Amino acid sequence: MKAFSKSFVFLILLSCASPKKEEVKENKIFQTIGSVERLDSAVNSLIPADAQIEVLASGFEWAEGPLWLEDQQALIFTDVPTNKIWKWTEKDSLSLFLTPSGYLGDRTDKGEPGANGLAMDALGNLILCQHGERQVGKMKAALDAPRPEFEALATGYEGKRFNSPNDLAFNSKGQLFFTDPPYGMDPWDVKELDFQGVYRLDADGKVTLLVDSLSRPNGIALSPDESKFYIAQSDPEKARYYEYSLDENGNVVAGKVLLDVTALQSESKKGLPDGLKVHSNGTLFATGPGGVLVISPEGKHLGTILTENGTANCGFDSGEKYLYMTADSYLMRIPLK
């Protein structure tokens, strides 16, 4: 069920191979949705009192992986089931950026074939968690002329294929941290690893297993000083955000539960911990029950951006003027201070 009226006037209409959703739409006169739940006054220093959630586009199967491209003043994001990446700009609205994005084969019955999390390396290359290919890949083409040609950066651990790499984050040394839950696997896929891992990929191609104790590791992000990373666990029985401390080489030295939100799940607050990003001041913006939770570095739940939809991921523009959110079939944003 859609969360707002379908009687809007949309100025640009694009079609999309999306059998389960309405047509992909771009709304130039942005409609608003949801609200902000303010549990602590600290959230007011991040989100203006009059901030509204704007719906920028809709009609996707399951939108994910928002990534800001500063040179293009554009946001790109994945639609995992349709194997596409879309691009949105304030000036030019919505356009198809790349297809296929995560699966290069011929099967048409895969459930989650596309790319999920996206990141950019220090050289400006697009790095993708590719569900269908079960790898972390690099697009060979430049971002201003994308094409579906990829180089595999990491395909497995100790001779066994990954499950389906999901989300990723670079540190300033060029080390890539990523999660590997089984969400992108189909029933006929052979699961070769008997755990769901969190890994580090070094510049020389070496893959190091950092965490193997989480049931459903999903979103990942680094603290501003890169001394920690955070993991969202999408397990309805243990819906939690974890914090892991790192040494100077990027190895895990300690870990703990930062915040447990299992009890927050309800019919009115849909969603599980999924994608997350860390603001430059250390505050976490983490998708979960109800939308996007705002969490202090100490693990205090400050408030929630209530999107009225299961919310997959979020991301900032370069100046942290907006938080962009991928929520089920929608692309949304909310202004920040």
Could you tell me the domains of the chain? Answer: 12-29+38-335 (2.120.10.30)
What pLDDT shows up at residue 26? Answer: 58
- Which contiguous run of DSSP H or E holds residue 334? strand 330-335
Put the strands of the sheet holding 217-222 in their side by side order. Answer: 217-222, 228-233, 240-246, 252-260
Report the phi/psi class of residue 257: left, alpha or beta, with left for phi > 0 and alpha for psi in -120 to 50: beta
DSSP character at residue 273: S
What pLDDT shows up at residue 323? Answer: 98
DSSP character at residue 264: G
Q: Which amino acid is at 305?
A: I
Cα 255 to Cα 139: distance, rounded to the nearest angstrom: 33
What pLDDT shows up at residue 29? Answer: 75
Catalytic residue among 79, 180, 235, 274: 274
Q: Residue 144, annotated ligand binder? A: no
What pLDDT shows up at residue 12? Answer: 35
Provide the 10 A C-beta neighbour count for residue 191.
Answer: 13
Q: Residue 218, annotated ligand binder? A: yes
What pLDDT shows up at residue 28? Answer: 63
Q: Residue 274, annotated ligand binder? A: yes
Provide Rg for the chain, Cα atoms. 19
Q: Residue 166, annotated ligand binder? A: yes
Instruction: Answer yes or no: pTM beyond 0.95.
Output: no
Whether residue 92 lies in the annotated active site: no
Residues of the chain with pLDDT under 70: 1-28
Cα 207 to Cα 194: distance, rounded to the nearest angstrom: 17
